[in-house]
Structure 1
Amino acid sequence: MDDIDWDLLSSYAGLLSLATLSIYAGSHGSLPHQRKAESKLGQVVETSEEDEEENMERLSSDEAWLFPVIGSAALLGLYMVVKYFGTDWINWFLGWYFSIVGIGSIWKSSVSLFRWMVGDAYWRTFHHFNFVIQKNKRAILSLSWRTPTLFLLPFAFVPPVLYSTGTGSRKSILITDILGLSFAHNALSLLKIDSFKTGSILLGGLFLYDVWWVFGTEVMVKVATSLDAPIKLLWPKSLSLADERGYTMLGLGDIVIPGMFVALALRYDYHCYMSACRASSQQSIKFLKPYFHAGLVAYVLGLVTTMTMMHVFHAAQPALLYLSPSCTLSFAVTASLRGELKEVWNWNDGPEEEAKEVARPDAEKDAKAEIAMGPVAANGEKGDPHPNYQEACLSKT
């Protein structure tokens, strides 16, 4: 029996940790921000514009069908460029492009990280700045930020500058991963699918896309190994993190695509939690995350399976071959076991739904009365539309 290659196993574990962390952070970043913060006395404090959730368009089922087509066209185009024109100029262009975009991406991610570290309450104590450009008394441009946001901007330039000015080995794995993690975090925070139906179509279509371009042709492997751009996560094949043996690689698409599905699961859990809060007579409800936890575990198992097959067959594997079924099945099994399959399948995470989640009860009502009464459920009846969440109510005594 061959000795265990601990260097390679550590590389797999490191890559798995980075991917899982990206999805966890990005999923929570996709949750709607509350536009109003309520005090214990029922008073409402308006938050700044930076706290408001951007009204981003959701990816619908009609658009999900196009992803494999657009992805195939882009992949084939890159393959033709690499094959007939070489990689020098395309890598130069992509390097500078992602370096420029990376400044904004790292800035946004670092602000989110800092805000999470200090907490929302302390974050709102920082001085607030507004920058507005008006024409004929109409705002053309309106920006809003707090003091830490400005101080973090110079640090956001460091990784992209080091990446763009480095050549070959000077483009360290660490810098590539910093850029890749920021891209993944912002993609998961901003790119949203509107329903589990759309997510299933998206994962199913890209499942076929991945299988065809990896197993059916050399296109995917050729492009992935030729392009030198921070659109992947890397981990050295060494316990000491030295890169003499090379590194394992995972494309950002294998994080963002299934991650969008896992993020949707967390938003559905949040929807159930808010519905239970509005309909509950209890003062405290635990935020359960059954669909999110199931999806995250399924992603880990799918990625472990991918790495196992790659190790056994010593060949590149289409990660979505394993990730798409595992994530889809996690949703179907969890919903079936909870008896919510039809309800969850028909749920839509549109902007109007998000507006309900961030809204607070009328500030003129007594705070205790607000909790006791709650708004009317979606079906027009009072009560808890999600009894599984209601069981987790914890009374304050």
Structure 2
Amino acid sequence: MSQQDWHLISSYAGILILATFSVYAGSFGSLKAPRSAKGKKDSGDDDSEQEDEEVPERVTTSEALLFPILGSITLFGLYLIVKFLGVEWINWLLGWYFAFVGIISVWKCSISIAVTLLGKGYWRSFKIRKLELPKFIDPKGTSVVSMRTPSIVLLFPSLIPSILYSYQTGPKKSALITDILALSFAHNSLSLIKLDRFQTGIILLSGLFLYDIWWVFGTEVMVTVGTSLDAPIKILWPKSYLFSIERGFTMLGLGDIVVPGLFISLALRFDLNNSAHKTPNKPFIKPYFISAIIAYVVGLSTTIVVMSVFKAAQPALLYLSPACILSFLITAYSRNELNVAWEWDDNDAKPAEEKEPVKDICDLDSNESVVLAEADPLDEEYIVRNRLHLN
């Protein structure tokens, strides 16, 4: 193979690793059951466990059916703007919007990384700070945000990527800054947006499978918009094993990370519930998640190979959607769980008042498996106050 081939292979490998890691990390981030979505706290809870967290957004079957329609309207609207009004002002507008949203997104990712590195036990040892919102946000001054001291400190370095992104000049933004913002968007999307059932996931993947085929093969719309907009809605990797930017970049849209990632994270949550129900005293096994991650790697690798052979842009969901769906069906059938998995509902979506509070939870060491005491084995609420054996 020529040196040019090795440059491309290294670029494709970089994109593949970056995308897979993003899906993997985001899936585990979705295991968190936000405290604000819960009912009454245990009477033994103290101030150290009362940090504010966000309530996840649920995607239902009816909403999944609308995704291709709404996506098509948005995509075609952007195409018309690019074709007839030019890309300069829309890139300027999107740049400032994503820079602002990126501050919050990078901040939340920084907190997640800090919690992972320090451990939940040590993280909870930090003091909770209660901050009043500014008057222009809450004129009455009645709203209070609770967060730990490191969370406040991490806000300041989280400003840096957005500041650098906003004030960069030239036709193109820095690939590194774009990747930092894009990966933070992907991680937060997977952590906070949850499919309610596998049926919903299959409908979503199937609908966007057709959406991708039409807009890539049927028209020039997808390619035109994707290559014209300079916004952190894609990940980039240099087409050089020396990371030289003169050769250009390989890119992958965030949709090809987030959409399959939503399905894969649902598989991980099903594994968690399955493990808690069937083998509560054993390590947390993840057959659906592992098969889905493998399917994602195979699907994305197939996209890259086909693109290289035919020298043309390929809709990644053309390969990722069937791969993820088949991984679920094959795993469920081989484990004689097809009916159970098909009817399973990620019941964390229930309102707080419908859920019974957890009565007692064992305090586990990090090398122990999950043990459930006097709690519904299909209720994810118990994971919040335990450190899971995730290996």
The TM-score range, normalised by the shorter chain, is 0.7 to 0.9
Q: Secondary structure at the match of 1:180?
A: helix
Post-superposition Cα deviations, 1:247-297, rounded to whole Å, max 9, x if no partner, equal 1000000000000000000111111222246xx5xxx42010111111111
Q: Does 1:327 align with 2:324?
A: yes
Task: Note the 1:1-397 alignment, pairs <5 A.
Answer: 5-33=5-33, 44-46=44-46, 47-50=48-51, 54-131=54-131, 140-168=142-170, 171-276=173-278, 280=280, 284-352=281-349, 360-362=358-360, 374-375=374-375
CA distance in structure 2 between the aligned counterparts of 1:302 and 1:338, rounded to whole angstroms: 23
Post-superposition Cα deviations, 1:332-367, rounded to whole Å, max 9, x if no partner, equal 000000000000000011335697999643379xxx
AA partner of residue 150 (structure 1) = I
Which deviates further from its counterpart, 169-178 or 191-200?
169-178
Percent identity between the aligned chains?
54
Post-superposition Cα deviations, 1:138-160, rounded to whole Å, max 9, x if no partner, equal 99523111111111111111111
Q: Secondary structure at the match of 1:318?
A: coil
> Following TM superposition, by how much is the alpha carbon of 1:102 offset from its aligned partner in structure 2, in angstroms?
0.4
- What is the alpha-carbon root mean square deviation over aligned residues? 2.9
1:227/1:34 Cα in 2 relative to 1: closer, same or farther (>3 Å)?
closer
Post-superposition Cα deviations, 1:90-120, rounded to whole Å, max 9, x if no partner, equal 0000011100110010001101111111000
Corresponding residue of 2:386: none
Asked if the contact 1:15–1:234 (Cα under 8 Å) also holds between the matched residues in 2, the reply is yes
1:375/1:90 Cα in 2 relative to 1: closer, same or farther (>3 Å)?
closer
AA partner of residue 122 (structure 1) = Y
Post-superposition Cα deviations, 1:31-53, rounded to whole Å, max 9, x if no partner, equal 13486xxxxxx99444533265x
1:32/1:7 Cα in 2 relative to 1: closer, same or farther (>3 Å)?
same
- Per the normalisation by structure 1, the TM-score is 0.84
1:349/1:2 Cα in 2 relative to 1: closer, same or farther (>3 Å)?
same
Asked if the contact 1:43–1:363 (Cα under 8 Å) also holds between the matched residues in 2, the reply is no
AA partner of residue 255 (structure 1) = I
AA partner of residue 275 (structure 2) = Y
Asked if the contact 2:303–2:314 (Cα under 8 Å) also holds between the matched residues in 1, the reply is yes
AA partner of residue 107 (structure 1) = W
1:109/1:169 Cα in 2 relative to 1: closer, same or farther (>3 Å)?
same
Bigger-Rg structure (1/2)? 1
Which deviates further from its counterpart, 170-179 or 42-51?
42-51
Corresponding residue of 1:381: none
Q: Secondary structure at the match of 1:192?
A: strand
Corresponding residue of 2:368: none
AA partner of residue 231 (structure 2) = A
1:331/1:358 Cα in 2 relative to 1: closer, same or farther (>3 Å)?
farther
Asked if the contact 1:274–1:357 (Cα under 8 Å) also holds between the matched residues in 2, the reply is no
AA partner of residue 360 (structure 2) = D
CA distance in structure 1 between the aligned counterparts of 2:195 and 2:231, rounded to whole angstroms: 26
Asked if the contact 2:55–2:192 (Cα under 8 Å) also holds between the matched residues in 1, the reply is no
CA distance in structure 2 between the aligned counterparts of 1:109 and 1:373, rounded to whole angstroms: 32
AA partner of residue 77 (structure 1) = G
- Per the normalisation by structure 2, the TM-score is 0.85
> Following TM superposition, by how much is the alpha carbon of 1:58 offset from its aligned partner in structure 2, in angstroms?
1.1
CA distance in structure 1 between the aligned counterparts of 2:60 and 2:376, rounded to whole angstroms: 28
- Unaligned stretches of 5+ in structure 2? 36-41, 134-139, 363-370, 379-388
> Following TM superposition, by how much is the alpha carbon of 1:375 offset from its aligned partner in structure 2, in angstroms?
4.9
Asked if the contact 2:358–2:374 (Cα under 8 Å) also holds between the matched residues in 1, the reply is no
> Following TM superposition, by how much is the alpha carbon of 1:323 offset from its aligned partner in structure 2, in angstroms?
0.3
- Unaligned stretches of 5+ in structure 1? 36-41, 365-370, 379-391, 393-397
AA partner of residue 50 (structure 1) = E
> Following TM superposition, by how much is the alpha carbon of 1:55 offset from its aligned partner in structure 2, in angstroms?
3.3
Q: Secondary structure at the match of 1:235?
A: strand
Count of residues in Structure 1 that have an aligned counterpart in Structure 2: 360
CA distance in structure 2 between the aligned counterparts of 1:377 and 1:153, rounded to whole angstroms: 37
CA distance in structure 1 between the aligned counterparts of 2:229 and 2:321, rounded to whole angstroms: 25
Asked if the contact 1:271–1:357 (Cα under 8 Å) also holds between the matched residues in 2, the reply is no
> Following TM superposition, by how much is the alpha carbon of 1:172 offset from its aligned partner in structure 2, in angstroms?
1.4
Asked if the contact 1:48–1:144 (Cα under 8 Å) also holds between the matched residues in 2, the reply is no
Asked if the contact 2:128–2:147 (Cα under 8 Å) also holds between the matched residues in 1, the reply is yes
CA distance in structure 2 between the aligned counterparts of 1:265 and 1:91, rounded to whole angstroms: 36
